[in-house]
Amino acid sequence: MSVEILFEDTRWEAAGLAPLAEAACDAALAHHGLDPETCEISLLACDDARIATLNAEFRGKPAATNVLSWPAEDLAPEADGAAPGTPTPPPPGMALELGDIAIAYDTCAREAAAQGIALNDHVTHLVLHGCLHLLGYDHIRPQDAARMETLEVELLAKLGVADPYG
């Protein structure tokens, strides 16, 4: 399994996070030629209070957000718009540890309602977004953002989720 989930907020279990996260991450990993069965991603399914604490601690932003990610390896390209690097293969018999993602139920539910989209679709997008961060994608610089958004739209379409940017 590519995604190991720690449920701190039980609303995530009721929302069916596990299959959504697995599908989103598997799509991103397969797109990059990685076998999801040999990769490991940790996902913290939490609430706004917990993610606000993490956001303050790691980003200096003391507010809730929808998703955070911590790549195990910096794969970000140096040039704006260039392709991210490739993860370093693990030792034989070991899983490729890609990093950690945290997702906040309250913010995700609020955003989905405000945008008039299904919670499942929004969550799929955000987990995919977090997974792409683990794979070296970012949206700080303009060409990097365009590259990441284009890939998100492509992979979400394969998962039956409408373009979140359209």
Tens-digit pLDDT profile for residues 27-51: 999 999 999 999 999 999 999 999 9
79 within a domain of the structure (yes/no): yes
Average pLDDT, stretch 129-139? 98
146 within a domain of the structure (yes/no): yes
Q: In this model, does residue 1 exceed pLDDT 80?
A: no
Do 11 and 105 touch, CB atoms closer than 8 A?
yes
164 within a domain of the structure (yes/no): no
CATH number at residue 60: 3.40.390.30
Average pLDDT, stretch 82-98? 94
166 within a domain of the structure (yes/no): no
**Dihedral over Cα of 67, 17, 157, 1: its sign:** positive
Banded pLDDT at 98 (limits 50, 70, 90): very high
59 within a domain of the structure (yes/no): yes
User: What pLDDT is recorded for position 166?
Assistant: 86
Total domains, the chain: 1
Q: In this model, does residue 67 exceed pLDDT 70?
A: yes
User: What pLDDT is recorded for position 70?
Assistant: 98
120 within a domain of the structure (yes/no): yes
Q: In this model, does residue 83 exceed pLDDT 80?
A: yes
**Dihedral over Cα of 160, 29, 140, 119: its sign:** positive
Banded pLDDT at 2 (limits 50, 70, 90): confident
pTM assigned to the model: 0.96
133 is in an annotated binding site: yes
Residue span of the structural domain in which 153 resides? 3-158
Do 118 and 54 touch, CB atoms closer than 8 A?
no
Residue with tokens 């299904």: 118
